[in-house]
Chain A
Amino acid sequence: MMSIDLSVPGRLQAALTVGRGEFVGLVGPNGAGKTTLLRAALGLLPASGRRELAKAAFLPQMREIAWPMPVDLVVGLVGAGPAAVERAIVRMELQPLRHRRADALSGGEQARVLIARALAQEVPLLLADEPIAGLDPAAQIAAMEVFAEKAQAGAVVASIHDLGLAARFCTRLVVLAAGRVVADGPPSVLTPDLLAGVFGIRAWFRDTEDGPVFQPLSRVATLP
C-alpha cells in the first residue's frame, strides 16, 4: 500500500512500509514529525528519498470548509459518484445533517463531514492527520471503527494523540520522536521505558477482558 524512505533536512528521517489490512497509528509528542511524515509521504513538501504510494485520500489536520455548501455537496467534492457519496454519508451517520450548511456545523460535525468526504473518494489508502481530535467520545470511537473497517480493504495511517484509542483500535503503532521512528509494532511497544523516554509520562496499560486499556497517570521528571 505504501512504502517510503524519506528525509526532510532537520525535520524527518524515516522509513515506513505499510501493507494491506494495516491500521497504523502514528504517535509521538508534539513536534515529533507526524504531520511532516504524512505530508512528505504525499509529496506535499519537498523531501528526498523514495516514496511509493497506492492511490491515497488525505485528511489534513487543518479542517477547512471555505464556502457555505450543503453537507452532501462537500462529501461529493471533485467527482465522487452519487452512490459513493451516499455510502459515505450513511457510514458517517450524516443523514440528519445532509442538507445543512457544512461551514455552519460544529467542529466535531465538520470533522465527520470531512472523514466522509475522504471515504467517498473510495481509494485503498487513507492518510489522516489527527482525525479524531475535537470529537466527542462516541464520535471518536465511531471514527476509529470506520478507520479499522476501511483498513481491512486497504490501509489507514493516522496520527493520533490519544494513546488509549490508538492502542485499542490500531493494528500497529509507529512511534516518532525528533523526526525518527523509535518504535514500531503492535500496541505492546508502549513500554514504560518508551513512555518515559519519548512522552515523559507514566501510564497504566493492561490487556483486560474488555481489550487493551491504557490510561496515562502522571508526568515523569525529565533529566535537565
Chain B
Amino acid sequence: MIALIPVVAVLFAASLLIGPAGIGLREAFLALGTGQGGDVALIMREIRLPRALLGVMVGGSLGLAGAAMQGWLRNPLAEPGLIGASSSAALGAVVALQSGLAASFALALPLMALGGALASVLLIAALAGPRGSAVVLILAGVAISAIGAALTSLLLSLSPNPYAVAEIVFWMMGSLADRSIVHVWLALPIMAAGAALLATTGRGLDALTLGEDAAATMGIPMRRLRICLIVGTAAVVGAATAVAGAVGFVGLVVPHLLRPWVQGVPSRLLPASALGGAAMVLAADIAVRLIAPDRDLKLGVLTALVGAPLFLHLIWKMRRGEA
C-alpha cells in the first residue's frame, strides 16, 4: 500500500506538467509555487492544479467507496453507485443543465447534483427503515438508481433543446476538463466528511467478513456502521459525480485489483483502494490529454474502456484458479 503513495505523487506531478501549453518543469513548479510568471502561473493555478486535485479527489472517493461497499456487502461485484447516489446526483445535474440554471449560474450544476445525492440518502433511509438489512438497502438503492435513470431519460427525450441534450450526454460521460478551483473547494469538505465517516468503518468491515451475526456478537454496532457507510458513500460519490460526472468502473475494478495485495483484509483495502482509485483516475485523465489533445475525449469513456478489459482479465484469472 505504501508503494502506491509515490505512484500517486508521480502521476499528480505528471498531470500538472502535461497539457497543450508546453511549459517546462522548472518554470511550471516555480509559477505554481510563487504565483509569478503571468500566463504560466494562470495556467498552472487555474487550470492544471484544479484538474490534478480533482483527479486525486474523485479517484480516491470512488476507490474508497467501492472498497467500503464491497466490504459491507461481502461481494466483489458491489460498486459505489449501488445505493443510488450517483444516478440521483446525475439527475440533479441534468435538471440543472436542462432548465438552463447551469448556464446562468456556474455552480448550479454541482449544487443540484449534491442535492440529488442527498435526496437519495433520505429516500433510502425512509425505504429501508432503521433495522433494514443489507439486502433491503440494496434493493432500495437499485430502485432509486432506476428511477434516477428513468427520469434522466425522460428529461432527455422531452427536451426541446438539442444543444442541452448534447451537453447533458457529454456531461454524463464524465470529465475533469475545464473545472476550476471553486469545484475543488465545493467538493473537498463533503468528500473529506464522507471519507472520515468511511474511515471509521474498517473494524466493522473486518468483522463482517464472518457474516452479520458474527460481527454483531463481536461488539460491532451494526446500525451505526450502516449509517456511516450509506452517508459516507453518498457524500463522496455524490460530490465526485457533482464535479466530474459519471466516472465508471473505478470503484468496481480498483478494490478488486488491490485485494490480493492487502491479503483480503477489508480495513486495509480502504486506504489502498483510495490511493489506487486516485492513481487510476489521474492516469486516465493524463491519457485523455495524450491520446487526443485537440478532441475532448471523455474521462468516463476511457476508465470504462480500460476498466472493462481489466475486469475481464481478472475473471479469466479467477477461472483459471478454479479449474
A39–B211 CA distance with the chains assembled, in angstroms: 14
Q: Which residues of B contact A73 (CB under 8 A)?
A: 263-265
Could you tell me if A78 and B220 are in contact, using CB atoms closer than 8 angstroms? yes
Interface: A69 (CB within 8 A): yes
Interface: A84 (CB within 8 A): no
Could you tell me if B217 and A64 are in contact, using CB atoms closer than 8 angstroms? no
Residue of chain A at shortest CB distance from B219: A78
Partner of B207, one of A43, A77, A103, A127: A77
Could you tell me if B217 and A78 are in contact, using CB atoms closer than 8 angstroms? no
Q: Which residues of B contact A43 (CB under 8 A)?
A: 216
A67–B267 CA distance with the chains assembled, in angstroms: 12
Pick the most buried of A43, A56, A66, A69: most chain B CB atoms within 10 A of its CB.
A66
Q: Which residues of B contact A39 (CB under 8 A)?
A: 213
Q: Which residues of B contact A44 (CB under 8 A)?
A: 213, 216-217
Q: How many residues of B contact A (CB 8 A)?
A: 21
Interface: B259 (CB within 8 A): yes
Partner of A77, one of B74, B206, B259, B263: B206
Interface: B180 (CB within 8 A): no
Interface: A164 (CB within 8 A): no
Q: Which residues of B contact A56 (CB under 8 A)?
A: 217
Could you tell me if A42 and B217 are in contact, using CB atoms closer than 8 angstroms? yes
Could you tell me if B209 and A67 are in contact, using CB atoms closer than 8 angstroms? yes
Interface: B183 (CB within 8 A): no
Encode A111-152 as 1/0 by CB contact (under 8 A) with B. 000100100010000010000000000000000000000000
Q: Which residues of B contact A103 (CB under 8 A)?
A: 264
Give chain B nearest CB distance to A17 CB in angstroms: 20
Give chain A nearest CB distance to B172 CB in angstroms: 33
Q: Which residues of A contact B154 (CB under 8 A)?
A: none
Interface: A212 (CB within 8 A): no
Q: Which residues of A contact B266 (CB under 8 A)?
A: 67
Interface: B214 (CB within 8 A): yes
Q: Which residues of B contact A65 (CB under 8 A)?
A: 209-210
Could you tell me if B264 and A68 are in contact, using CB atoms closer than 8 angstroms? yes
A74-B209, A114-B210 known; A67-B265 Cβ under 8 A: yes
Interface: A70 (CB within 8 A): yes
Give chain A nearest CB distance to B177 CB in angstroms: 37
Q: Which residues of A contact B260 (CB under 8 A)?
A: 68
Within 8 A of A (CB), among B208-246: 208-211, 213-214, 216-220
Q: Which residues of A contact B220 (CB under 8 A)?
A: 78
A56-B217, A57-B217, A121-B218 known; A64-B265 Cβ under 8 A: no
Interface: A58 (CB within 8 A): yes
Interface: B203 (CB within 8 A): yes
Give chain A nearest CB distance to B200 CB in angstroms: 14
Give chain B nearest CB distance to A65 CB in angstroms: 6
A90–B260 CA distance with the chains assembled, in angstroms: 26
Q: Which residues of A contact B214 (CB under 8 A)?
A: 58-60, 64
B: which residues have CB within 8 A of A?
A: 74, 203, 206-211, 213-214, 216-220, 259-260, 263-266
> Can you list 14 A-B contacts (CB < 8 A)?
A44-B213, A57-B217, A60-B214, A65-B210, A66-B74, A66-B209, A68-B264, A73-B264, A74-B209, A77-B209, A77-B210, A77-B218, A78-B206, A117-B210
